């Protein structure tokens, strides 16, 4: 799940997508508890907890897009439906996956979350992440698939130069999140150590990861981001890091802030840069495209009206399939009758073979030739 390729399409403005890692012992149980609590509180219209294999078997007999299949490594599939802004319905799926390797301690369980609204997404809406995951520090769901990176807390840059380069490179190429690098002009106090992401609108809060460089890391942080990503970070400032491939419209100067005061006050300028960056059209990662296809084509949590529409569509599909099967049976019957007639003609109808014919005529009148012609007409009913 860590590797990422990009499709030629962009993320729809109706969608909210995220991929992370749960490093706790019971990820699926954490999701269930949160969904049950939100349903009881009236936040959710409804939710489903599905085994991926059974979910795939419960789909129609008619073929779907293969990318709607969560894949053999899927552990569990959760669906939830809720409303925002009074009447806008949001549908979301969370899929948990087996770790690629169990050799590393604390590798965790990868999760993919795809949500889509009936209209363009508003960052003021609740975060889909906190619909499935409890917004609590005691549940370790908020890790990136890039090792050592967390969502809801500042991530200090590694001291080792090689590790620092690898981390920034991996974040740019593999992560689905927006990454922001902040340099501390001086060691902040307690309030300054709080994440700046806490000031973001709710739906953007869990799409942004904050990195922090200590005062003594000013030169090395600036050198590494220039070498690896082609941007710089000012001393005591911040920069929204580019993604790979680079998003059209991204310019380093446009998303750089010269001064960020880490005193607990709202960093207004930096927040505006993050919101502006998040609004840019960005390429849709291939894994994200599959998650969005699965949400749209592999949806199970239907409303009563949707179930009625689905049932009517199924009746129509079955009627067409039955009609096709009936037509096939008629063609088979016609072919069999033609074959029997050809056989009767070849044997005079009494089992007595006809007199030998010349080679060409014998070939033309042979039962095999007659059968071939008969079945040829079956394959192509328009053929004379």
Check residue 332 and give its pLDDT.
80
Report d(CA 305, CA 312) in Å as an integer: 11
Tell me the pTM. 0.79
Report d(CA 164, CA 144) in Å as an integer: 16
The one-digit pLDDT tens for each residue of the chain (384 residues) are: 445 555 568 999 999 999 999 999 999 999 999 999 999 999 999 999 999 887 776 654 444 556 677 888 999 999 999 999 989 999 999 999 998 754 455 579 999 999 999 999 999 999 999 999 998 989 999 999 999 999 999 999 999 999 999 999 999 999 999 999 999 999 999 999 999 999 999 999 999 999 999 999 999 999 999 999 999 999 999 999 999 888 888 999 999 999 999 999 999 999 999 999 999 999 998 899 999 999 999 999 987 667 666 566 667 776 777 777 787 887 888 888 888 887 777 776 555 555 555 555 455 555 556 555 555 555 555 545
Check residue 60 and give its pLDDT.
47
DSSP string across 63-124: ---GGGS--TTEEEEEEEEEEETTTEEEEEEEEEE--S-SSSTT--EEEEEEEEESSS--TT
Report d(CA 77, CA 73) in Å as an integer: 11
Report d(CA 282, CA 248) in Å as an integer: 7
Among 222, 92, 97, 207, smallest CA distance to 157 is for 222
Using CA of residue 20, residue 26, residue 29, residue 35, what is the dihedral sign? negative
**Contacts with 153 (C-beta within 8 Å, 6 or more apart), sequence order:** 195, 210
**Contacts with 33 (C-beta within 8 Å, 6 or more apart), sequence order:** 134
Check residue 74 and give its pLDDT.
93
Strands 208-213 and 155-156, sheet pairing: parallel
């Amino acid at each position: 799940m860590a590797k990422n390729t990009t499709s030629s399409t962009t993320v729809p403005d109706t969608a909210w997508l995220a991929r992370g890692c749960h490093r706790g012992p019971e990820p699926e149980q954490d999701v269930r508890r949160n969904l049950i609590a939100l349903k009881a509180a009236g936040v959710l219209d409804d939710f489903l907890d599905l085994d991926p294999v059974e979910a795939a078997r419960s789909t129609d007999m008619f073929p779907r897009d293969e990318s709607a299949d969560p894949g053999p490594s899927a552990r569990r599939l959760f669906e939830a439906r809720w409303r925002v802004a009074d009447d806008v319905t949001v549908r979301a799926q969370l899929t948990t996956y087996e770790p690629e390797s169990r050799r590393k301690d604390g590798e965790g369980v990868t999760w993919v979350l795809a949500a889509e609204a009936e209209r363009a997404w508003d960052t003021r809406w609740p975060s889909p992440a906190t619909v499935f995951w409890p917004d609590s520090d005691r549940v370790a769901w908020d890790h990136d698939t890039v090792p050592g990176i967390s969502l809801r807390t500042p991530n200090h840059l590694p001291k080792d130069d090689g590790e620092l380069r690898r981390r920034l490179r991996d974040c740019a190429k593999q992560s689905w999140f927006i990454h922001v690098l902040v340099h501390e002009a001086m060691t902040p106090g307690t309030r300054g150590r709080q994440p700046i992401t806490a000031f973001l609108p709710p739906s953007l809060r869990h799409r942004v990861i904050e990195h922090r460089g200590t005062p003594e890391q000013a030169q090395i942080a600036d050198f590494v981001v220039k070498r690896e990503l082609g941007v710089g970070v000012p001393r005591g400032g911040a920069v929204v890091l580019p993604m790979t491939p680079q998003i059209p419209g991204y310019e380093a100067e446009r998303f750089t802030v010269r001064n960020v005061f880490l005193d607990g006050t709202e960093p207004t300028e930096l927040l505006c840069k993050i919101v502006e960056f998040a609004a840019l059209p960005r390429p849709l990662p291939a894994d994200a495209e599959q998650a969005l296809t699965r949400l749209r084509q592999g949806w199970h949590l239907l409303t009563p009206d949707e179930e009625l529409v689905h049932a009517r569509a199924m009746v129509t599909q079955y009627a067409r399939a039955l009609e096709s099967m009936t037509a096939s049976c008629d063609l088979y019957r016609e072919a069999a009758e033609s074959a029997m007639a050809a056989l009767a003609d070849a044997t005079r109808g009494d089992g007595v073979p006809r007199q030998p014919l010349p080679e060409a005529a014998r070939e033309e009148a042979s039962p095999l030739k007659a059968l071939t012609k008969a079945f040829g007409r079956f394959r192509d009913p328009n053929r004379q």
